[in-house]
Structure formats: structure tokens, C-alpha cells
Structure 1
Amino acid sequence: MEKILVLNSIEDNLHYAIIENNKLVELFSDEEKKLTGNIYLGKVEKVVNALDAIFVNIGEKKNGFLRIKDIPEKYYDYFSLKEIKEGSKILVQVKKDPTGTKGPQLTANISIAGRYLVVFPFSNVNGVSKKIESEDERQRLYKIANEISNNNGFGVVIRTAAEGLDEKYIYSEAITLKEKLDDLLLNFKRKRKIQILYTEESLIDYILRERLTKEITQVITNNIKHIEVIRKYLKIFSKRPKIEIIDGDSFEYTNVNKYFKELIKRTITLPSGGEIIIDKTEALTVIDVNSKHFTKSLNQQETAFKTNYEAVEEIFRQLRLRNIGGIVIIDFIDMNSEENKNKILEKVNEEIKKDKSKIEIFGFTKLGLLELSRKRTIKSFFENYVSICPVCGGSGFIQSPRFLLKEIFTKIENAPKEAKEAIIKLHPYMKNYIDKSELKKRKDLIYHIHFTHTDPKTFEITWKI
């Protein structure tokens, strides 16, 4: 599989995209400041027992929201605390960026991530990435995790990038992360003011650490300064990807820009003529699968299975590309066969492996809906690139033309007695709905109708005496 990492520097902003087999699957922009992963010395503003939560001032525009259950027992023990009080300082990490009216979500179970492992000072967790499937390799890495944990007194999770790696690189990174952790905890103890204590070294480091995997076959960048950093991360690769430096816009060069407008669409057409429709609500995302013009199969059940199977790949590509998080409900075309349902679930599990975000599948409901949840920490495509429509307010609907006509007729019937002419300004979409003869039935005036009004929900009438 051809997999390309595209880095695009525009002025002071860095964007990245991932292309798999000529299809865009991931897109990220740093135009809006990313808070996720940052660790702060915060101040407890309010403890709300009814919500089992704490609001914490971390120096950003909105207070962070910390669930009391996200403060591990080891945190209390480490700092010799019995409870968290208002006005006291607290060590917290952002686990989800602010969205809409909500502030950032916080946790006191802080962690520092490297390329090969993540360390947790207030947790005893020891684990290995579930995406590493070889049992022998898992056992080898578990042994390394336990040894690092026992020697340092913190929890350790081995990441996917450590699969097959010489243990010396993992132990070396553990030393580096311990040094960072010791500095962090020392600074927290010494300082009093609200401030950021830890953040990623740079965005390019974050992108390369998280996205420059063994599967990447090519890296394209328009910034020559990236080369040195890229080579640093490629040192341990047995097979290194091709690096290409270009002049101009990397996204234009790789045709990424052409996908932007398509990402706003509700409907995505499948190669064989079927389609998926994506609708987002505040609580969840609903995806509907339709066979539409897919007519190659011999019977309805065969058509249903083939459309559903084809839809799975596109649905999970869209989840990654749009960075859709939370609860997702997929309404596949009805299938009677349990065997076919299992084949769909197998395809789903295959696609999940391509996604860096954690996805949990809950299976088919009695109504045939597939339920799943996808964890995301940064803003979705819609939050970064899409604004709410000023006309419909984000609902996608406006009132029917007949209701607007009713208001116009009422206004005409109540026209001033001395009025002889009426100048009516309407939105162009009303052209096929308004008739001067109908207006004359209400009041015998001279009517001038102009379709120049910009708001389809309202109209404007001026009287001439």
C-alpha cells in the first residue's frame, strides 16, 4: 500500500495530510491552537459536588472541566492530599480541546508520550498497544514495560511503534521521559502561579512522532528545515521512505486542496453507485447507507451486502478524515444473513486498525444499526473549517415559501389607505411562488417586485402614496 505523509508550511502555520492509495485519509491544521497533551499548574476555581467535577483555571479563555474520577488515588498520595479544595493549585493535563461553549476537558492522571512508550507517574498501569498482534512480541514488550515500571515507579504503556524494535531504543527513551517527568514534578512543587509546565517540543516533532510510521512510503514537504527533523526519526527505520522537497504549496502539488469542498458534503457516492449520508448532531453522528444506483447484483440481499461492504471502507475513511468523535450510529442496508453481518464486522475491524484513534465497536442493535464510539482529542474538520450558516443557523432548514407568502398577504391587506403602489423585495428563490394577480386580490395596487433581498426568511415592502 502506498502511504504518503504530506507536510505543508504556509506562512507560520503547519498542516499535514496522509494519502493512502491516492485517497486522502487524514487532514490536520495548526491554525487553531492545540491544547491537548499540555500539562498545566492550574488553580481550582470551583468544586461542584453535584457534578462530581472541578472547574480549573489553566490560564486559557475558558476554565477546564475535571471529573473527580480522573484524579487517581496515587495523585493524592504523591502530594499528601486528603481532598482538592477551592483556591489550591493542581497539576492537570488537557485530554480534549475546548469545543463550542465547552472548555477543555482535563485529567490529573497525567502522562508524557514518547515515540515508543507513554509514562504515567500517578498510575500503576503497564500495557502494550492492542494493535501489536503477535503474542511473542507482546510478551517481550510486557517484560520491558514491567522492568521500566519497577525501576522507576511509574506506569508504562508500550506503543505500536516499538513493535520489533531493539530494546535499547526503548530503554533509552524511558530515561529521557523520566528526566522530563522529574523536571515537571519539581517545577510544579516549586511554582505557585497558573502556567503551562509541559508541551510538545514542536508541532513538526509531534506530527513525525505520531504519523511517521513504518507504513509511510513517501514524505513530501515544502520546507527544507523539516529534512533534518525527518532524518532524526528515520534513524531506526530498516526501509526508509522517499523524501521529496517541493516549491510552493504541498497540498496543491498533491491535490489535497481539491478535497476540501467535498468534505462539507453530506452525501458521498460509492464507486459502484451506492452512497453514504453523514448527519452530525450535538450528541452523535448518524451515517446512512443507501444502494441508490447499485444494480449490478442479482437480488436485494446480494445488493445490500455488496453496498454495505463497499461502504465500510469509505465510512471509516471519513471518520479519520473529518476526525469525527463520540457516538457513531451506522444504518446499513438491512441484511437477513448473520454470515453477511459477521463479514461486515470483520471488514470493520480491518479498517479500525488503520486508525490511530481508539474505536470501540458495540455491534448490531435489534434494528440492524451498528453502534460504535471513536475517541478524539482535537477539533474535528467541521470545527476547524466550517462555520454555521447565518441564514438557517445550522439547522439546514428555513420556513416554507407559503408561510412567507401568508405574511406578505397579511401585510398587503393592512396596507395604508392612501397607498397606491407597493415595492416588494424578495429573495430570488421566491420567483416561482409569488403572483401579482394574487396580490391584487388582497389589495388593488400597482406592484413592483424585485428579487434582490438577501435573506430568504424575510421580505421588505415599501409603500408609495
Structure 2
Amino acid sequence: MDEEKTMLVSKALEEIRIAILEEDKLSEIFFEDFETDRNIGKIFLGIIENRVPSLEAFFVNIGLGKNGFLRYRDVLDDPNQYKVGDKILVQVRKDGGTRKGPQLSMQISLPGKYLVYIPNSNESIGISRKILQEKERIRLRQVAKKILIDNESIIFRTNSEGIDEKEVEVELSEMRKMYNSILQRFHSQKNPGVLYEESDFLEYILRERLDSKTKKIITDDRQIFRKLKKSLKGFELKPKVEFVRGDVFQIHNIYHQMEEIFTKKIELSGGGTITVDRTEALTAIDVDSAGNLEGKNIEETSFITNMEAAKEIARQLKLRNIGGMIVVDFIDMKDSSHKKTIINILKEESKKDKSKVTILGFTNMGLLEIIRKRTTQPLDTNVYSQCPLCHGTGKIIAPSLVHGRLIKELLSSAKEIKKEKIKVIEINAFHNLSGYLTPALTEELEKQLNVKLEVSFNWLNPNSYNIKYKK
């Protein structure tokens, strides 16, 4: 039985926030500020600034500060016909990171309610893999062949199942007009910059996330309530829309569930745990039985914990928007049928994910490898900024090492202190050095250096300290 979904739409100040629940459990969350900052899907006028044959790519100025990266294979024609200074039409396929600019393509695609329109394409007609009936897939292909012209293609989205041919034709006509409008701006504009972007955050989420499982949309804003009623008239799917007083996120316990998104360790209801460690290159997930005592023996206990963990891992990947290479260290299982079951659970749960998830299987070391298509940055990179002290490691230098460095610096300056006739030395350190810089040690240092030491513990950086010499 499919899990029913509820969409919560809340407004805080001028920002819209949207949470999607599956059976009252947070499945996905979107913030207007973060989504509008993303560039994926935007279409730009770009100027080729550099050609790098060793990378088989161009670097393209699209007006964002960081140049975009355009691979030869994402160019429409022969890459050799392009040179530095050329004006090109590009679309962002993948957002950049802190060090990299966005990944670009010259193959433009425009998403609609039912279709994705791809001009300048001779690819075969695409149909969402979630449309399962072969009879319907054949019908949609026939519809496409009737309405498509040369050098264009379409992909039927999940919402197009059962759609009337006339509606497909109307949407395709609108998308052709939109593309022609983009081309006009491209030809008239000279400088790098955006030519097309999603105009409405709420409309975008409705189009991308509304499906047959969504039975209800609840909002705490009157204006959004009216807008939802109006917007849903254009959708085949029409879930029930409700208005509630108060904070809909508070009512449905979203804030507490949001806190769980960013914790390293996740408690499973059966007593086990999963631990998520994310780096730029890959994400490592460890499964532990912890307090789970179910099962007749070790193998069965491991299997029970791993099954629960597999479902939660699929949910966490989607919820945290973790992409790229993922390695899962499940509790060791000797029974090969148990491993197959774990893979099947992950495959089934991943069908709920909009991003493509590939389960590669268990390695010889017993680690399960997963690849989730990465298009935008993980959620935590938007919510949290890197700590300027530990630089993302989550660690600080041991206070004993900082203390040793401080003492060495003072003692090595003894000759200079005497020469400059220093009378007072002010030391300001982080509070974790208070157990090292004791009154007894301070007194001993004063005798050795023949100065007055004034020590305080108000320094904000645990990895350093501040010393002032006064005559």
C-alpha cells in the first residue's frame, strides 16, 4: 500500500517553507530562500572565456562571478567550431560548490506540468519510469509522434498519465513560445546573464512534487490558501486544501523533525542506530544494532536492524539531499538472501525519490555502494556554514598542545623581554586553558621572566591565544 502524502506550506516573514510528510513523517523540506539561490535549470547567455583541451571542456562566463564548466560532450555541435569570446546559450545542469562553478549544457530543456520540452534534439521520446502500464506508454508515444516536429523531443512526466492529446498539444505550444522568447532575448542581449528562471517558488514545488499520493495541502497563510486554490485548477491532481491558524510547522512537529536532519547519529525505533559522515567526495553510513535485541541469533538480529536501517537510509538521502557516492557499512550478514532483501528494500524505497538512485551492490569487504544523482548542494550546506575555527572538521587542538606552545613562546622570548624592559605581560586564552595556567604556574613564570603576568580567559578561539607585552 502506497504511503499517503501531506504537503505543509508555511510563511515566515516573506519566506515560504514547504514540508512534505509521508504518513506524518518528514520526507522532504524546501526553503524559498535556498531554492531561489540555486541556479539549476536556469538558462544563461554565456561567453566562452577559456578552452582547456586537457579537461575536454570550456570555462564559460555566465555573469555569476564563478565561471561555469561546459564539457565538450555537452556541446550541441562539434566543439572545435567554438572559440574564446563566442556567445552561447547554456543551461545549468548541476549547481557549483564552494570551489567550483556550475556545470553547464547547451542542450536546453524546459519543464512543464506534463512534459519536459527539449528543442534541438533528435533523441527518442522519453516516458517517466513511474508510468508502468505498457498500453499507456504506447499511447503516449503515438501522441508525441503526431505533434512533434523535426529537431525536437519531449519527455512525458509522471503527471501525464491518462492526459488528453489536446492538453499535451496546448502545453507543447506554450513551451515552444517560451523557448522562442528565450532565443529572442539571447540574440538581443550582449552581456553574460540569466535569460530564464522559475518565476514562482510555490508553483515550482507543486509542479515538481505534487503526485497522486498527495491527498492534502495545509497552509497557515490566507493569501497562500487562495493562491493554492487558484493554482490547482490547472492541475489534473486536486488534493484537498486546508487553512489552519497558527504555525503549521509547529502543529505537525516539523521543527523537532528538522533538528533530526542534521544530527550525525540517527536512532532507529527498533533500538539500532545509523551514523552519517559526509565529505565532499563521498558519504559513509554506519549501521549499528546498539540496543536492538530482537531475533533468535546474531544473524537474525543483524538482518532485522539492517532492514529498518535500509528504509531510513533511503529516507535520509532524500531528506538531506545527499548525492554522489554513498558507502553503507551494514551489520555483517552471512546469508546471501538477507543481502538481496536489503538491496530490494533500498530499490523499492528509492522509487519515492525524484533523484536517480543506483544500487551497485555489496563489495568483497561487505560494504554496500550507492550512487544518488547530485544536482544541487546537500541541505546542510545551506542551513549551516563552515566553522571558521575547526574548518568543518568538528575538532579543535588539544588544550595541552596550545598551552605548551604558549609557554614555549614566553620562555623563548626571555632575552627580548629583558632587553626591552617589559614590566607586564597580558595573556588572554580560551577558557579551556584555565586548568593549565594555574596561579602556581603563573607565579613560577613571573619569577623566571621577572615580569608581572595578567591572565584572563576571554579569548574566543580555542586554537590560539593573545599575548601583549607592556613596558
Deviations 1:60-79 (A, max 9, x none): 22221111110133xx6xxx
Q: Give the distance between the partners of 1:335 and 1:310, measured in 2 at CA.
A: 14
Query: 1:31 aligns to what SS in structure 2?
Result: helix
Structure 1 counterpart of 2:26, from 15, 21, 24: 24
- Aligned residue-pair number: 458
Is 1:36 the equivalent of 2:40? yes
Q: Give the distance between the partners of 1:291 and 1:142, measured in 2 at CA.
A: 49
Identity of aligned residues (%): 39
Deviation, 1:234, is 3.5
Q: Give the distance between the partners of 2:161 and 2:291, measured in 1 at CA.
A: 44
Deviation, 1:323, is 1.0
| TM-score, L = length of structure 1 | 0.89
Task: Look up the match of 2:186.
Answer: 188
Task: Look up the match of 2:334.
Answer: 336
Over 3 Å counting, the alpha-carbon distance change for 1:152 and 1:178 in structure 2 is farther
Deviation, 1:443, is 7.3
Query: 1:397 aligns to what SS in structure 2?
Result: coil
Task: Look up the match of 2:463.
Answer: 457
Task: Look up the match of 2:132.
Answer: 133
Deviations 1:294-339 (A, max 9, x none): 1222322112111111111211211111111111111111111110
Q: Could you list the runs of 5+ residues in structure 2 that have no partner in the other structure? A: none
* Alignment-mate amino acid for residue 174 of structure 1: L
Task: Look up the match of 2:264.
Answer: 266
Query: 2:214 aligns to what SS in structure 1?
Result: coil
Deviation, 1:441, is 7.2
Conserved 8 A contact 1:278-1:286: yes
Task: Look up the match of 1:240.
Answer: 238
Q: Give the distance between the partners of 2:378 and 2:132, measured in 1 at CA.
A: 29
| TM-score, L = length of structure 2 | 0.88
Conserved 8 A contact 2:120-2:151: no
Q: Could you list the runs of 5+ residues in structure 1 that have no partner in the other structure? A: none
1:296-375 matches, within 5 Å, as 296-375=294-373
Larger deviation: 241-250 or 89-98? 241-250
* Alignment-mate amino acid for residue 164 of structure 1: G
Deviation, 1:431, is 4.9
Conserved 8 A contact 1:413-1:443: no
Conserved 8 A contact 2:294-2:304: no
Over 3 Å counting, the alpha-carbon distance change for 1:180 and 1:98 in structure 2 is same
Over 3 Å counting, the alpha-carbon distance change for 1:152 and 1:252 in structure 2 is farther
Larger deviation: 410-419 or 179-188? 410-419
Q: Give the distance between the partners of 1:328 and 1:22, measured in 2 at CA.
A: 27
Structure 1 counterpart of 2:60, from 39, 53, 56: 56
Q: Give the distance between the partners of 1:354 and 1:215, measured in 2 at CA.
A: 10
Q: Give the distance between the partners of 1:95 and 1:295, measured in 2 at CA.
A: 46
Task: Look up the match of 2:75.
Answer: 71
Over 3 Å counting, the alpha-carbon distance change for 1:408 and 1:298 in structure 2 is farther
Deviations 1:79-128 (A, max 9, x none): xx961111111010111223212212111011111111111112222111
Cα RMSD (Å): 2.9
Conserved 8 A contact 1:436-1:447: no
Conserved 8 A contact 1:205-1:229: no
Q: Give the distance between the partners of 2:29 and 2:91, measured in 1 at CA.
A: 24
Query: 1:260 aligns to what SS in structure 2?
Result: helix
Over 3 Å counting, the alpha-carbon distance change for 1:451 and 1:193 in structure 2 is closer
Deviation, 1:36, is 1.3
Query: 2:33 aligns to what SS in structure 1?
Result: coil
Over 3 Å counting, the alpha-carbon distance change for 1:141 and 1:232 in structure 2 is farther
* Alignment-mate amino acid for residue 59 of structure 1: G
Conserved 8 A contact 1:412-1:439: no
* Alignment-mate amino acid for residue 429 of structure 1: N
Structure 2 counterpart of 1:429, from 419, 429, 432: 432
Q: Give the distance between the partners of 2:464 and 2:194, measured in 1 at CA.
A: 49
Conserved 8 A contact 2:211-2:237: no
Deviations 1:248-304 (A, max 9, x none): 544334332233333322111111121111111111111111112212223221121
Query: 2:96 aligns to what SS in structure 1?
Result: coil
Deviations 1:17-43 (A, max 9, x none): 111112111111232422211112221
